[in-house]
Structure 1
Amino acid sequence: MNSSTPKIGFDRFIQLDWAAAALNVRAGLAGLADLNALLDAAELGMEAKKKTRTVLNRLWLEPRSELTDFADRGAAIHEMQPDIPVSALCWGMSVATYPFFGKVAEFVGRLSAIQCDCASAEVHRRMSEAYGEREGTRRMTNMVIQSQGSWGAVERVEKGRRVIRLAPTVIDNDEVTAWLIEAAVRYSSKPVSLSSLQSLPVLFPFALTRPLGYVVSKSANLNICAEGPSAQLVALR
Structure 2
Amino acid sequence: MTIDHPRIGMDRYIDADWMALCASVVRGEMTIDGVHARLADDIAGKQVQRKVIGILNRMWFPGDPSGRQLAKQAAALATKADGDRIAAFEAVAIGAYPYFRQVMEHVGRLVRLQESCSAGEVHRRMFELHGKRSTIDQATSYCFKTMISWGMLERMPDKRLSSAPRAAIGQEAREILDQAANRSRRSVSPLRPSDPLLFPFAKQK
Give the TM-score, by structure 1 length. 0.77
Q: CA deviation at 1:159?
A: 6.7
RMSD (Å) for aligned C-alpha atoms: 2.1
Q: How does 1:150-169 map to 2 (within 5 A)?
A: 150-158=149-157, 160=159, 162-169=160-167
Q: CA deviation at 1:169?
A: 1.2
1:202 aligns with 2:197: yes
Q: CA deviation at 1:158?
A: 4.9
- Contact persistence 2:166–2:202 (CA under 8 A): yes
Structure-2 separation of matches of 1:26 and 1:66: 15
Structure-2 separation of matches of 1:159 and 1:51: 31
More strand by share: 1
Structure-2 separation of matches of 1:63 and 1:142: 28
Which residue is equivalent to 2:147? 148
Structure-2 separation of matches of 1:94 and 1:142: 16
- Contact persistence 1:22–1:56 (CA under 8 A): yes
Structure-1 separation of matches of 2:81 and 2:157: 32
Superposition misfits of 4+ residues, deviation over 3 angstroms? 62-66, 157-160
Which residue is equivalent to 1:183? 180
Specify the code of the residue in structure 2 equivalent to 1:141.
T
Unpaired runs of 5+ in structure 2? none
Which residue is equivalent to 1:231? none
Structure-2 separation of matches of 1:11 and 1:144: 8
Structure-1 separation of matches of 2:71 and 2:61: 9
1:73 aligns with 2:70: no
Specify the code of the residue in structure 2 equivalent to 1:17.
D
Say which is worse superposed, 62-71 or 112-121, in terms of deviation. Answer: 62-71
Which residue is equivalent to 1:225? none
1:33 aligns with 2:47: no
Q: How does 1:102-141 map to 2 (within 5 A)?
A: 102-141=101-140
Structure-2 separation of matches of 1:72 and 1:183: 12
Structure-2 separation of matches of 1:133 and 1:76: 39
Q: CA deviation at 1:150?
A: 0.6
Which residue is equivalent to 1:219? none
Aligned length, in residue pairs: 200
Equivalent position SS for 1:29: coil
- Contact persistence 2:91–2:177 (CA under 8 A): yes
More helix by share: 2
Structure-2 separation of matches of 1:167 and 1:139: 26
Structure-2 separation of matches of 1:191 and 1:170: 24
Specify the code of the residue in structure 1 equivalent to 2:164.
L
Query: Could you say if the C-alpha distance between residues 66 and 131 of structure 1 is closer, same or farther in structure 2, counting changes exceeding 3 Å?
Result: farther
Equivalent position SS for 1:127: helix
Structure-2 separation of matches of 1:41 and 1:71: 25
Query: Could you say if the C-alpha distance between residues 159 and 37 of structure 1 is closer, same or farther in structure 2, counting changes exceeding 3 Å?
Result: farther
Structure-2 separation of matches of 1:140 and 1:184: 20
Structure-1 separation of matches of 2:117 and 2:91: 22
Query: Could you say if the C-alpha distance between residues 47 and 131 of structure 1 is closer, same or farther in structure 2, counting changes exceeding 3 Å?
Result: same
Structure-2 separation of matches of 1:124 and 1:158: 19
- Contact persistence 2:59–2:95 (CA under 8 A): no
Q: Which has the larger radius of gyration?
A: 1
Q: CA deviation at 1:71?
A: 1.6
